[in-house]
Amino acid sequence: MSALVIRPATRDDVAAIVALLADDPLGAAREEPDDPGTYDAAYDRVVADPGQHLVVAERDGSVVGTLQLSVIPGLSRRGATRSIIEGVRVARDERGAGLGTELITWAVEESRRLGATLVQLTSDASRTDARRFYERLGFVASHVGFKLPLGD
Amino acid sequence: MSALVIRPATRDDVAAIVALLADDPLGAAREEPDDPGTYDAAYDRVVADPGQHLVVAERDGSVVGTLQLSVIPGLSRRGATRSIIEGVRVARDERGAGLGTELITWAVEESRRLGATLVQLTSDASRTDARRFYERLGFVASHVGFKLPLGD
């Protein structure tokens, strides 16, 4: 396979990122790829925030993966800055070939470079392969993740 | 009991916040209250980031609770902005009296005000009471939370 590049997402990548987010058992019901304005506005909010690092993995000019890294300073754990990984997606025809590992390894190294001493993420409990995947990369499944959607 | 005020933390609150963080079965091993410089520097990083909202709950001039709210814009879930609650602590003599509920209810309303459509948090799996507490407030324990500490 040709070389992989992991780089900051541009506005021109938004449609490809949304397609990746939607091409997923859980994402299919959550996303609305036919509403690009919503995602363009969200992209603008992301790039306006220096704590957010939305990246794509590109191979042969195509976006084949994405993730978002958020850097969060805080007081707990001796003033630890932590990073949170969200929205990890790998294109269908790249799955099982190591791109997920490359993305997470990149995110961990980038977190260290940005001053984080702790990396965290949550994964839907129904993603049964994810636990093994993250544990193999050294993550510890020590926490329960709670969500509360806010209605109108 | 006299009135409770939830307000942004000032630099003068840092020692009280650290005392709350440390007065906890897990926090006791993680914090270093005798090293105020570390926490003051962390406080400065927190207040320099407009996405971070570190608050204290004050009663009769004493800090009796704390939490940190982080606002994270993103593309997934139709461009949802989410908030993350971290570092929730209630003073020992206020435990079991509803302050935790007041703090989380405040954080949910503040999240909504800040434009978030999803609130999330993780809780150490060993905190057995926490699950019931958050579920009673409407949170769903749908995720597994992973952490990776970064060594030197």
| Chain A residues lying within 8 Å of B31, measured CB to CB | 76-78
Give pLDDT, residue A1. 65
Write the pLDDT tens digit of every residue in A43-98.
Answer: 999 999 999 999 999 999 999 999 999 999 999 999 999 999 999 999 999 998 99
Pick from A46, A79, A84: CB nearest B42: A79
Q: Per the structure block, which two tokens stand in for B104?
A: 């989380």
**What single letter denotes the amino acid at residue A1?**
M
Q: Is B31 on the interface with A (CB under 8 A)?
A: yes
DSSP category for residue B9: P
User: A74–B86: do the CB atoms touch at under 8 Å?
Assistant: yes
User: Which residue bears the tokens 């363009």?
Assistant: A40
Confidence (pTM)? 0.94
Three-state SS string across chain A, please? CCCEEEEECCHHHHHHHHHHHHCCCCHHHHCCCCCHHHHHHHHHHHHCCCCEEEEEEEECCEEEEEEEEEEECCCHHHHCCEEEEEEEEECHHHCCCCHHHHHHHHHHHHHHHCCCCEEEEEEECCCHHHHHHHHHCCCEEEEEEEEEECCC
Picking from A49, A50, A86, the residue whose alpha carbon sits closest to that of residue A67 is A86
Per-residue pLDDT, averaged over A99-127, amounts to: 97
CB neighbour list of residue A20: distance below 8 Å, 6 or more residues apart? A63, A65, A66, A89, A90, A91
Distance from CA of B91 to the nearest CA of A (A): 15
The structural domains of chain B, with segments of one domain joined by +, span 4-136
Write the pLDDT tens digit of every residue in B54-83.
Answer: 999 999 999 999 999 999 999 999 999 999
Q: Per the structure block, which two tokens stand in for A15?
A: 């449609």
Multiple choice CATH, B4-136, 3.40.630.30, 3.30.1370.10, 3.40.50.1820, 1.10.10.10:
3.40.630.30
Pick from A17, A74, A118: CB nearest B149: A118
